[in-house]
Chain A
Amino acid sequence: MGKKTPDFISTTNACKLCRPLGACLAFKGMEGTVPYLHGSQGCATYMRRYIISHYNEPIDIASSSLSEKHAVYGGGPNLKLGLTNVAKKYRPQMIGIATTCLTETIGDDVAMYLEEYRRDTEGSVGLPDLVHVATPSYAGTHMEGFHGAVRQVLARKAEGGPGNRTINLLPGFVSSADYRYLKEIMADFGLDCTMLPDLSETMDGPARLEYEKIPAGGTPLAAIGAMGRARATIEFGRTLGEQEGGGSLLTERFGIINHRLGLPMGIRETDRFFSLLAELSGRPMPAKYRDERGRLVDAYVDGHKYVFGRRAIIYGEEDLVVGLCALLAEMGIRPVLCASGGTSGRLAEGVAAVSGDILAEQPQVHEGMDFFEISDMAEELAPDLIVGHSKGYPLARRLDIPLIRVGFPIHDRVGGQRILHLGYRGAQQLFDTVTNALIARKQDESPVGYSYM
Chain B
Amino acid sequence: MSQLAIEAPLERLPLSQTIDKELWIRRLLIGLVCLWMLVVVILPIFQLLSKSLMDNAGNFVGFANYVHYFKTPALSNSIGNSLFVSILTTLIAVGLGFLYAYALTRTTIPGKAFFKGLAMMPLFAPTLLNGISLVYLFGRKGLFTTGFFGTIPGFDIHLYGPVGIIISEVLFAFPQAVLILSIALNMTDARLYEASDSLGASKIKTFFTVTIPGIKYGLISAVFVCFILAFTDFGAPKVVGGNFNILSTDIYKQVIGQQNFVMGAVVSVVLLIPTVIAFIVDRIVQRKQVAIIAAKSVPLIPKPERLKDTLFLTYCAFIALLIVGFYSTSLFASLVKVWPYKLNLGFWHYNFSDMGGGGYAAFFNSIRMAFYSAAFGTVITFSAAYLIEKSRQMRVLREISYFLSILPLALPGLVIGLSYIFFFNAKGWSIAGMFIPNPLGFLYATMGILVMSNIVHFYSVSFLTATTALKQLDKEFEIVSESMGVPFYKTFVCVTVPVCMPAILEIAMYYFVNSMATVSAVIFLYSANLPLASVAVANMDDAGDIAPACAMSILIVLANLLARMLFGLATKGVKNEPRPGW
B partners with A: no
Interface residues of A, Cβ cutoff 8 Å to B: none
Interface residues of B, Cβ cutoff 8 Å to A: none
